[in-house]
Amino acid sequence: MSTGTPTGRPTPVRSSEPVPFLDISGATNDVAEEIRAGWDELLRNGQYVGGKAVAAFEKEWAEYCGTEFAVGVANGTDALHLAIRALGIGPGDEVIVPANTFVATAEAVVLAGAVPRFADVDDGTLLLTPETIKAAVTPATKAVAVVHLYGQLPDMTAITQICDELGLVLIEDAAQAQGATWNGRKAGSFGKVGCFSFYPGKNLGAFGDAGAVVTSDAGLTQLMLSVRDHGRMQSEGGHYSHGVLGMNSRLDGVQAVVLSAKLRHLDGWNQQRRALMATYRELIDPARAKLVEQLEDGEGVHHLAVVQVDQRDRVRELLQERGIGTGIHYPVPCHVMGPYEQYADGPLPVAEAAAARQLSLPMFPHLSQDDARRVAEGLNEVLAELDR
Ligand SMILES: *Cc1c(COP(=O)(O)O)cnc(C)c1O
């Protein structure tokens, strides 16, 4: 379609430019000025750990999620670990965790002294289902850590009902789902606690490590505020009064300024991700690549755009040759990893098959629709070629 410049030289062919798997520089540019202003204020007030900026972000984040409270912590793994400990879950207790997740979900359970019990996932959504949860329940089960992997929620209507029926605590690992909803309700607001990571690449990402726990339980919030700060009493004069075993997992003002600035863009960025996902859904050949399914009552925020394909590693190489970057989330299910296989009690066929087939396509708000089309077409061509 290019007709050349007035000098007669051909215009660069756009399709030769590489498409990265992830590029967060566009999002950074959107907020850079606001962040500089926020950091100037921080340099004046000197409140680097905790302080005004952290309190402001915690308030905004709880409001956004539709919960009463948010407790800022150092990262997403700590959010899970701290919440599990504050819930009184520890040695002798089991927490159900999907086998197809980032390792941190299982890691946090073990760090809290409890036992992860791995459950299989659905082949369409690659998420926990009411059935796979039920199959993993034992008399020692205290909680379910539901993971909204790739930015989509599983059937929260059925899962909250099961937890109520069986008396299990619902913990949400919403690290990939900032702003995702189920029946209009936000991720993080269904469980007793909702745990978030704000690692730079997440939908809401800091300029370093950061995390938060949201909840509407005032007592639990007080306990978490204390545990994240060496178990200190949070009342006046409590600085040297360490009433519970704590840890150091505080959110710093430098990151809180970034998070508050980015939060104002989150819905718009998520909308961009949805539009890109719609393009993938429209163009990718469903006979050769199975895009992760979105349940009807959910609205995803597509942290990742995952397809299942045959010969995944070969597909990945061929896409790379065409300049299209991809990722794998995740190549090894948790229950077969070194530190966790001791907790596995049998194969989990869907998670194991998916680990060999899943491929994450480029997905970030500033990816252009043109590039998404090139990715979809490139994928279709590569798959057709391998089919021959
Ligand atoms: C990123 C992530 C975490 C851990 O977050 P960190 O901030 O890296 O500790 C936990 N669970 C899931 C599903 C994640 O994607």
Give pLDDT, residue 242. 86
Best residue for ligand 1 mutational test, from 84, 150, 173 (most atoms within 8 Å of Cβ): 173
Question: How many Å lie between the centroid of ligand 1 and the Cα of residue 174?
Answer: 9
Per-residue pLDDT of the chain (388 residues), as tens digits, is 344 444 445 544 445 689 999 999 999 999 999 999 999 999 999 999 989 999 999 999 999 999 999 999 999 999 999 999 999 999 999 999 999 999 999 999 999 999 999 999 999 999 999 999 999 999 999 999 999 999 999 999 999 999 999 999 999 999 999 999 999 999 999 999 999 999 999 999 999 999 999 999 999 999 999 999 999 988 878 788 888 999 999 999 999 999 999 999 999 999 999 999 999 999 999 999 999 999 999 999 999 999 999 999 999 999 999 999 999 999 999 999 999 999 998 999 999 999 999 999 999 999 999 999 999 999 999 999 999 8
In angstroms, the CA 306 to CA 277 distance is 10
Give pLDDT, residue 16. 67
Q: Is 199 in the pocket of ligand 1 (CB under 6 A)?
A: yes
Give pLDDT, residue 13. 46
In angstroms, the CA 147 to CA 110 distance is 16
What is the residue type of 189? S
Tokens of 299: 């609205």
| Protein residue closest via CA to atom 14 of ligand 1 | 175
| Protein residue closest via CA to atom 4 of ligand 1 | 76
Give pLDDT, residue 12. 44
Q: Is 174 in the pocket of ligand 1 (CB under 6 A)?
A: no
Q: Is 75 in the pocket of ligand 1 (CB under 6 A)?
A: yes
In angstroms, the CA 351 to CA 168 distance is 23
In angstroms, the CA 386 to CA 359 distance is 16
Please state whether 217 falls in left (phi above 0), alpha (psi between -120 and 50) or beta.
beta
Q: Is 360 in the pocket of ligand 1 (CB under 6 A)?
A: no
Question: How many Å lie between the centroid of ligand 1 and the Cα of residue 196?
Answer: 7
Tokens of 177: 């789902």
Question: How many Å lie between the centroid of ligand 1 and the Cα of residue 239?
Answer: 31
Q: Is 255 in the pocket of ligand 1 (CB under 6 A)?
A: no
For residues 180 and 148, is the Cβ–Cβ distance under 8 A?
A: yes
- φ, ψ of residue 291 in degrees (nearest 5): -75, 145
| Protein residue closest via CA to atom 10 of ligand 1 | 104
In angstroms, the CA 381 to CA 327 distance is 19
Give pLDDT, residue 237. 82
Best residue for ligand 1 mutational test, from 84, 128, 171, 176 (most atoms within 8 Å of Cβ): 176
Q: How much is the pTM?
A: 0.95
Q: Is 330 in the pocket of ligand 1 (CB under 6 A)?
A: no
Please state whether 188 falls in left (phi above 0), alpha (psi between -120 and 50) or beta.
left
For residues 182 and 153, is the Cβ–Cβ distance under 8 A?
A: yes
Q: Is 150 in the pocket of ligand 1 (CB under 6 A)?
A: no
Per-residue 3-state assignment (H helix, E strand, C coil) for the chain? CCCCCCCCCCCCCHHHCCECCCCCHHHHHHHHHHHHHHHHHHHHHCCCECCHHHHHHHHHHHHHHCCCEEEEECCHHHHHHHHHHHCCCCCCCEEEEECCCCCHHHHHHHHCCCEEEEECCCCCCCCCCHHHHHHHCCCCEEEEEEECHHHCCCCHHHHHHHHHHHCCEEEEECCCCCCCEECCEECCCCCCEEEEECCCCCCCCCCCCCEEEEECCHHHHHHHHHHCECCECCCCCCCCCECCCCCECCCEHHHHHHHHHHHHHHHHHHHHHHHHHHHHHHHCCCCCCEECCCCCCEECCCCCEEEECCCHHHHHHHHHHCCECCECCCCCCHHHCCCCHHHCCCCCHHHHHHHHHEEEECCCCCCCHHHHHHHHHHHHHHHHHHHC
